[in-house]
Amino acid sequence: MAKHPKQTNTPKDWRLLAERDMAIADHLAATMRPVPSEAIAFHCQQASEKYLKGALVILGEEPPYTHDLDELCSMAERHRPSFVSISSLCTVITHFSVQPRYDMGLSLSEEDMRLVLSHTKTIKDFLLKEIPELFLE
């Protein structure tokens, strides 16, 4: 069985990876017709996951190998109770992680996709205020 490659461990690395996923999601939403809602939601989930993992590193935690935003948010909440304010957003976005990508019956409306995109941007805005050092060069 192949081992998973070592995860990145610097906040800047996590942030740059998250920003790449956000750029892809924004680009797809702005330019592709029909809108690839599932792909956009997936990249939003990936961006949220990576932003949260970067925040965890700053908070002194080793991010686990998981796509579960609820778990990541709970870990951060132990350090900063204010993370409870984004927990419901994490629950929604978690549904668009890697596993659902293989469900051929998945169909996401453009309205729902835009909600996921908005939730992801809200998480980023929250982190900008709560853990600004994540966004420092």
Confidence bin at 1 (pLDDT 50/70/90): very low
Confidence bin at 107 (pLDDT 50/70/90): confident
For residue 104, is pLDDT > 60?
A: no
Higher pLDDT, 112 or 107: 112
For residue 5, is pLDDT > 90?
A: no
Q: What's the chain's length in residues?
A: 137
Higher pLDDT, 77 or 107: 77
Superfamily for the 11-135 domain = Nucleotidyltransferases  domain 2 (1.20.120.330)
pLDDT by residue (tens digit) across 16-50? 999 999 999 999 999 999 999 999 999 999 999 99
Q: What is the pTM of this model?
A: 0.89
Q: Could you give the CA distance from residue 66 to residue 68 in angstroms, rounded to a whole number?
A: 5
What helix, strand, coil percent values describe the chain, rounded to 5? 70, 0, 30
Q: Is the peptide bond before 100 cis (omega within 30 degrees of 0)?
A: no
